[in-house]
Chain A
Amino acid sequence: MTDGKSSFVYVTFIKTTPDRLWAALTTPEFMRVYWFGVNIETDWKAGSDWTMVHGDGRVTDAGKVVECDPPRRIVLDWTHQMNPELAAEGASQCIIELEPLDGAVKLTILHTMQRGDSKLIGAVSGGWPRILSNLKSYLETGEAILS
């Protein structure tokens, strides 16, 4: 049972290499293309801070890089910054895993909050599928579908 815990898992298979996918996940110029102008600002080292900066300069989310193992795994602790109700929920955890599989890479994103019915998890759940569809299209065809 997972009472007292809210989790979402997103899995997509992208025809690319782990190194290219890793670059797309961690390089600002790539990120902006498929993530609707959003950039994660950090040096991608364990213990470092990260902030999610939108095109208009707003910082909506921030936290610490817990683990960073290129090109395999990123663990972020993740706290919302703008909406007081979401911010009050405290830190969630986001695990990003890359696994090579038959000429493609399996990308898994697991986002968990240690409380039931988390509003933050509800809020991010609408965003991830669109970001991942865009990322897949960008890496496989060179173009993002949505902007």
Chain B
Amino acid sequence: MDDDSVFRALADASRRLLLDRLHERNGQTLGDLCQGMEMSRQAVTKHLAILEEANLVSARRSGREKLHFINPVPINSIAERWIGKFDQPRLTALSALKQALEDKQDD
């Protein structure tokens, strides 16, 4: 549950993709998460276990299903540790500007 396990969990593109998918739609089963992923069910299971170990994903039973939820608390703690004292509105404005400029480049 320490920062090391959070950073280790985040240091993998497949695991970040799984977090992106849960961020897009929260509360998915293993089957939902496997859809459209270019890896085996076992690999997805392994990545989810590492994300759960780091407390970045929380699994809950709902009837017969096990649903996975993104847990934003550890990332928020990391953000507060280093970013909180800087001007949050300005950082938000900067990241919005970066996104707008980069979107334009894609056109």
Contacts and interface: CB of A to CB of B under 8 A. Distances in A.
Given A13-B1, A133-B73, A146-B84, 10 more contacts: A1-B29, A1-B32, A2-B26, A2-B67, A7-B67, A10-B72, A129-B76, A130-B76, A132-B73, A132-B76
A93 to B, nearest CB: 13
B27 A5 contact: yes
Contacts, number: 56
Given A13-B55, A108-B58, A145-B84, A7 B69 contact: yes
Interface of B: 1, 25-29, 32, 55, 58, 60, 62, 67, 69-73, 75-77, 80, 84
A110 interface: yes
User: What 3 A-B pairs come out closest when comparing CB atoms?
Assistant: A129-B76, A9-B69, A2-B27
Nearest to A134: B80
A3 to B, nearest CB: 9
A121 to B, nearest CB: 9
Interface in A59-115: 108, 110
B84 to A, nearest CB: 7
Contact of B73 (A5, A129, A146): A129
A2 B68 CA distance: 11
A125 B60 CA distance: 18
A10 B73 contact: yes
A7 B27 contact: yes
A130 B27 CA distance: 21
A11 B27 contact: no
